Structures are given as structure tokens and as C-alpha cells.
Structure 1
Amino acid sequence: MLEDNPLQATASIDIPMNKTIVFNHVPSNRTNAFIEGLKKFRLPRPLMATVTDTSIHWTFEVLIQNLAAERHALKNNTMTTHA
């Protein structure tokens, strides 16, 4: 789990191979400035998440799967629910 060891091995899960940034205890103004910087310099946007009361209990693999599903849903103008 994120609160323990985010790289802890878990059951074999197919994980999308995306660069990912997870913000934890980062003020929202700093997070927003970072995202705006990516846009300004036209850098490829990685999967991004802020640790929440819900996601703190997810394994890193589950977090990545949810982020990838969310990105796919936004790209295809569909809806998704988190696991």
C-alpha cells in the first residue's frame, strides 16, 4: 500500500507501462504549477495522482490501473469507476 511500501510486490497484475507521478503532501498550488509547466513546455503528460483518503489504501499497481482507466475514459469521452 502507498502508506507502507509502494513498490511492494503483489499478485501478478497487468500494469500499463506509463510514467507516473504521485503527489503526496504537496500543496495544490505547487501541484498546479508543475502541471502548468508541463503544458507550457509541451512535455508528454505522465499519469498523475494526488494521494487521497481512498487511494492511500491502494497498492501502487491498483493506483496505476485506475489512472490508466481514467485517462482512457477521458480520451474516449466515456465514464469509469475506480476499483
Structure 2
Amino acid sequence: MLQLEEEDQEQLKAAEARRLAEPPEQVPQMAEQERRRAQECYREQECLQAKREMQEREKALQLQKDPFQRDLEEE
């Protein structure tokens, strides 16, 4: 999780540098593009988190159904 935050910070810094390098008339357009990219990234993060949680729940349910399998996994 910390690595993701560091990557996000690096992406934000790179986006800011690109925006500053653009001519002033293109800054609003660039800002809108960066905002859209940030929203897409956030949605992807939410999706990945939801998938992880669902996998954990499915595994927990599977272990409840099959206690013998749980014993094997613990060894």
C-alpha cells in the first residue's frame, strides 16, 4: 500500500512537471486530462481492493465449508 502511495506521488509530480512545461493556453486542458487520469486510477484502485476483499471472503467461506482443507493449509 505504501508503494502505491509513493507511485501516486511520483505520478502527481510528473503530471505537475508536464503541466508546467505546457504553454499556458493548454494548461486547463492538461489539468482536465490529469483529473480524468486520476479518477481512472482511483477507480482501478477501488476495483483491485474490492477484488482482494472478495477473494479473502471466498477463501474464508471455502475454509468454513471444508475444515479438512483448512488443516492441510495450516501444516
Higher relative contact order (CA 8 A, sep 6+): 1
Q: TM-score, normalised by structure 2?
A: 0.31
Name whichever structure is richer in helix by fraction. Answer: 2
Higher-Rg structure is: 2
Q: TM-score, normalised by structure 1?
A: 0.28
Name whichever structure is richer in strand by fraction. Answer: 1
